Chain A
Amino acid sequence: MKKIHFTRRNYVQLASVAVILLIAVLMFIVGRQHTVLLDNKTVEHEGKTYTAFSIVTVEVDREGELELAARDRDKAEVMGQRHKITVVYTDRSFEEHTLVKKFKVPIGQDMVLLSIPALVGEADESVWLQPFFPPTAAVAPQAEVLPTEDVLAVDITF
């Protein structure tokens, strides 16, 4: 069998390909977009009730503050896996508190549901951060015109 001889040039080429692949993986992880649904609803878990706040201010990373009333749900679109949530709330004695918590979104998860009352109530992460799958609409898909020769001949905006 013929032996394959690797020259220095081949090693450099292989290393370059490896570096590019590594960058691609890094970009995939860093650039993956996730939707974090911020939920301010009362949650019950194992007999414990986490009551919704009458008003709460939430900020995920630096995406801008969101104000949620009781039973409100809003969303924040974030990039990457590791995030920081800042919750500003008022307790029953009208004292303002700020809670900062870091969390990680699984790479394959498009949407997660984050329960603010459970987060502030120091519940387990599996309670306040859950995967969310948007319900699929039960309507017939609208037919889309397939591209034809005419469509392909249309000028583009330049």
Chain B
Amino acid sequence: MSELRETRKEKILSILEKNSVPILFTVFCALGIPLSGYSYGYLGQEIVVRIARNSFLIIALLVPIMAGMGLNFGMTLGAMAGQIGLIFIADWGIVGIPGMILAMIISTPISAFLGWLCGKILNMAKGREMVTSYIIGFFINGVYQLIVLYGMGSVIPIKNPALVLPRGYGIRNTVNLISIRKVLDNLLAIKIFGISIPVATLLVIAALCFFIIWFRKTKLGQDMRAVGQDLEVARAAGIKVEHTRIVSVVLSTILAGYGMIVYLQNIGTLNTYNSHMQIGMFSIAALLVGGATVNRASIGNVFLGVSLFHLMFIVSPTAGKNLIGEAQLGEYFRVFVSYGVITIALVLYEVRKRRDLTRAGRLLAQDQADEVEAKQ
């Protein structure tokens, strides 16, 4: 099929439309930075910290997108598994890098089971994966609360009194993770132009990026892409569609568990009952800000998204305060933006899908017209 003949204006509009969200955020940030009054050194340091803190979690979202399952709101399941691992290591007094590794090992079977459960349910709700995974997140959150608030200390032995509520069972609202705080970030930290670079964390993220690139080329990765493009065609080609979809969710959930551990080692405190709550929402928003869509996302989108989304997060409260005199407005603004960007991305996805269909129709008409012209 030939290329659709478009005017220059149409081409420019098409490029702008494809990159509308990153462009919008770049404009927001460009306006916000001078208003906030922050130095470039400070902003650079904050961005580096946030890239190291959040990238792992966001990369975990790439696998289900590859398999055509959209944005995995069920990544909170993995985050909960990661938190359970962290509660155990805090109780057993395992510190440093071994503590992180042990928390990851503990979280793996829990994440795998929850991912498998989520995948099974999502296979029953094909075409509505995102909303289903969002609701599964709420459901499993209830189970998590039941286990952590009532099971731990009574059924599951927790001996550290600093973790258990004074009534004798249940975990406190806050768990101090001082024993693993920044252990990965400080492992090979170097300073460049006054900005501290957490080299070890960035190496782990780089390793995950290489894993994703390698994974796309494997048989399973190719199967996922085939499933993502067309379920029925993939099935006709002999691919176990349901199994492939489950594997993608399991992989994403396990990676989200690891990502949560990396994230919390940077924060140094675990808010037992709400750390995981909005992790999915913010990670998805960051990915979408980077220019990803429901059915297409790349590693480049992850890093661009983290940088732009968090740059806006950093500058908006101060910019709001300097502009209007109300810091609270900036706080509201960033929550509004994170939800808003998901809405815009979903609307644009639908608009784009319809426009692509129109373009395909126009292209077909153009080809037919060319054929008729050639015959005459």
Interface residues of A (CB under 8 A from B): 20, 23-24, 26-28, 30-34, 79, 110, 141-147, 151-158
**Of A23, A28, A157, which contacts B94 at CB under 8 A?**
A28
* 0 or 1 for each of B172-195: is its CB under 8 Å from A? (1 = yes): 110000010000000000000000
Q: Which of B200-208, B266-274, B316-324 is found at the contact surface with chain A?
A: B266-274
- Taken together as a complex, chains A and B put the C-alpha atoms of A151 and B272 apart, in Å, by 11
Question: Please, how many angstroms separate the alpha-carbon atoms of A145 and B275 in the complex?
Answer: 17
Q: What is the chain A residue whose CB lies nearest that of B95?
A: A33
* Shortest Cβ distance from residue A115 to the other chain B in the assembled complex, whole angstroms: 23
Whether the pair B95, A79 counts as a contact (CB closer than 8 A) is yes
Check if B96 sits within 8 Å of A28, measured CB to CB: no
B279 at the interface (CB under 8 A from A): yes
Residue on B with the closest CB to A143? B166
Give A152 to B76 CA distance when docked, in angstroms. Answer: 14
User: Taking the complex as formed, is B278 at the interface, i.e. its CB lies under 8 A from any CB of chain A?
Assistant: yes
Residues of B96-137 contacting chain A, CB below 8 A = 96-99, 101-102, 105-106, 108
* Distance between Cα atoms of A100 and B88 in the complex (Å): 35
* B300 located at the interface, meaning its Cβ lies under 8 Å from any Cβ of chain A in the complex: no
**Could you tell me the dominant secondary structure of chain B's interface residues?**
helix
* Residues of chain A lying within 8 A (CB to CB) of residue B170: 146
- CB neighbours (8 Å) of B210 from chain A are none
In the complex the two chains form, is B277's CB within 8 Å of A32's CB? no
- Known A151-B173, A156-B278: A32·B93 in contact at CB below 8 Å: yes
Closest 8 CB pairs of A and B: A31-B98, A141-B166, A27-B98, A31-B94, A27-B102, A147-B273, A33-B95, A24-B105
Give chain B nearest CB distance to A27 CB in angstroms.
Answer: 4
Q: Which of B101, B166, B275 contacts A156 (CB 8 A)?
A: B275
A143 to B173, CA, bound (A): 12
CA distance A146 to B170 in the complex (A): 9
Q: Check if B294 is an interface residue, CB within 8 A of chain A.
A: no
Chain B nearest CB from A65 CB (Å) reads 21
Cα–Cα, bound, A147→B170 (Å): 11
Interface string of B50-89 (1 = CB under 8 A from A): 0000100000000000000000000000000000000001
Q: Which residues of B contact A151 (CB under 8 A)?
A: 173, 273-274
Residues of B within 8 A of A155 (CB): 278, 335
Is there an interface contact between A144 and B93, defined as CB atoms closer than 8 Å? no
What is the CB-to-nearest-CB distance from A59 to chain B, in angstroms, rounded to a whole number?
19
A32 in complex: contacting residue of B94, B145, B273, B310, CB < 8 Å: B94
Select which of A20, A24, A34, A152 is within 8 A of B277 by beta carbon.
A152
B92 within 8 A of A: yes
Task: Give the total number of A-B pairs whose CB atoms are below 8 A apart.
Answer: 80
Interface pairs (10), CB distance under 8 Å: A24-B102, A27-B101, A30-B98, A31-B98, A146-B165, A147-B274, A151-B274, A152-B274, A158-B54, A158-B310
A31-B98, A32-B93, A146-B170 known, 7 other contacts, Cβ within 8 Å: A27-B98, A31-B95, A79-B98, A143-B166, A146-B165, A147-B274, A158-B54
Among candidates A24, A28, A143, A154, residue contacting B274 with C-beta atoms closer than 8 Å: A154
- Check A152–B179 contact: CB distance below 8 A: no
Is the Cβ of B173 less than 8 Å from the Cβ of A31?
A: no
Residues on the A chain within 8 Å of B173, using CB: 144-145, 147, 151
Closest approach, in angstroms, between the C-beta of A111 and any C-beta of chain B?
Answer: 10
Q: CA A156 – CA B274 in complex, angstroms?
A: 7
Bound Cα distance from A153 to B313, whole angstroms: 19
Contact flag A28-B267 (CB < 8 Å), given A23-B101, A147-B273, A151-B274: no
Q: Which residues of B contact A157 (CB under 8 A)?
A: 267
B149 CB within 8 Å of chain A: yes
B282 interface residue per 8 A CB criterion? yes
| Minimum Cβ distance to chain A for residue B75 (Å) | 14
Q: How far, in angstroms, from A27 to B170 measured CA to CA in the complex?
A: 26
Beyond A20-B105, A23-B101, whether A158 also contacts B282 by CB under 8 A is: yes
A33 touches B149 (CB 8 A): no
* Contact between A156 and B96, CB atoms less than 8 A apart: no
A142-B166 contact in complex given A28-B94, A31-B102, A110-B93, C-beta closer than 8 Å? yes
